Amino acid sequence: MKNLMLYLLLMACVPVVAQETVSSVQLDSYLIDSATKKVGTLHLVNKTGNPVFQLKGAGRKSFEIRNGNELYWKKTKQPDRNAYDITVTDGATSADFRILKNQFHRNKVIAHRGAFKNTGATENSIGSLKHAIALGCEGSEFDIHMSSDSVPFIHHDPTIDSITIEKTSSATLAKLKLPNGEFLPTLDAYLAAGVKQYTTKLIVEIKPSVISKERAIALTRKVVAAIYKHKAQAWVDYISFDYEILKEVLRLDPYARVAYLRGDVDPGKIAADKMFGIDYNSGVFQKKPEWITAAKKNNLTINVWTVNDPALMDWFLQQQVDFITTNEPELLLKKINVH
Ligand code: MG
């Protein structure tokens, strides 16, 4: 009894340290550069001292660490693979990473809610994701809300069939059918489908909560955890209208690629907050074309939504933006292939 009291007293004195990141071992890029064979740089965050990084895991023989923290792919007698799973440890903690041979399309075309308009697939269905992949889009975008019992589901509006997603249990939501016959997809199912291929990126939109900021942050943590569980970091760009959601993503994963959607923050501030890009409505860039120049000057990527008009597509292609989000990926791909 005395020992128990002493233990409880000691436990009460231990300061509670919040988990600031998913892991203290972080990697800033997950793709093998085809020319240099470099993958990225390893970082130790929220820890002091000089780490000695070591490789473990099934794929370790295909990699080496140079200069203490630079991760490189190396050729072995084994056939090259699409993906390699490695573990990096600093002796105390370790992190698992899935490294990909870079086969992602580079054509600027982001299918908005998947490729749905001309394919017959329902928007935000796994079918619409598969159509975007089959078309050869650089990315396929989708939207996430969270059920009352904290399960993330894929849907654009906060409601489906007059049911508010945030106020409904996952058991009820999982029974809902989309017009194309699919069940309302969970994030888990969507990511499982997304990481079966290596050519189309997943553009993950975390929706603000209709109930509270706490739920928005809780959803963000669920989404980042799911992406780590599926080892999907190499595939994923995060986007949101809620600036605090994006800051939470960066708190958990400081090297995640995040882009802000609302269009009310200038590129200088976005860069200062260590975001990867801006993803603004086409009207914002037409009113403030100087933000295109400012974004490029700040090394931010530029995405624009939702561009369905052929003349507007041409204007943004002339501006040399990085990505164009569209309901007409077929048309934009045709334009890109002509250019
Ligand atoms: Mg969206």
Tens of pLDDT along the chain (339 residues) come to: 555 555 555 444 444 444 577 889 999 999 999 999 999 999 998 877 788 999 998 889 999 999 999 999 999 999 999 999 999 999 989 999 999 999 999 999 999 999 999 999 999 999 999 999 999 999 999 999 999 999 999 999 999 999 999 999 999 999 999 999 999 999 999 999 999 999 999 999 999 999 999 999 999 999 999 999 999 999 999 999 999 999 999 999 999 999 999 999 999 999 999 999 999 999 999 999 999 999 999 999 999 999 999 999 999 999 999 999 999 999 999 999 875
* Residue 140 and residue 70 share a domain: no
Contact predicate 291/264, CB 8 Å: no
Q: Is residue 7 part of a domain?
A: no
Last residue of a domain, one of 78, 101, 124: 101
* Residue 263 and residue 177 share a domain: yes
Q: Is residue 137 part of a domain?
A: yes
d(CA 122, CA 200) in angstroms, rounded, equals 19
Cα(39) to ligand 1 centroid in Å equals 30
Phi and psi torsions of 31, nearest 5°: -115, 140
Residue 267 token pair: 């590129």
**pTM for this entry:** 0.93
Residue 262 token pair: 């609302």
Cα(240) to ligand 1 centroid in Å equals 8
Cα(279) to ligand 1 centroid in Å equals 11
Last residue of a domain, one of 101, 117, 146: 101
* Residue 116 and residue 50 share a domain: no
Helix (H, G, I), strand (E, B) or coil at 133: helix
Q: Which domain does 153 fall in, by range?
A: 109-338
* Residue 115 and residue 96 share a domain: no
d(CA 238, CA 242) in angstroms, rounded, equals 11
Cα(first)–Cα(last) distance of the chain, in Å? 78
* Residue 287 and residue 142 share a domain: yes
Cα(126) to ligand 1 centroid in Å equals 15
Cα(98) to ligand 1 centroid in Å equals 26
Residue with tokens 């792919």: 73
* Residue 144 and residue 87 share a domain: no
Q: Is residue 3 part of a domain?
A: no
* Residue 184 and residue 57 share a domain: no
Among 216, 93, 100, CA closest to 158: 216
Last residue of a domain, one of 69, 101, 133: 101
> How many domains does one find in the chain?
2
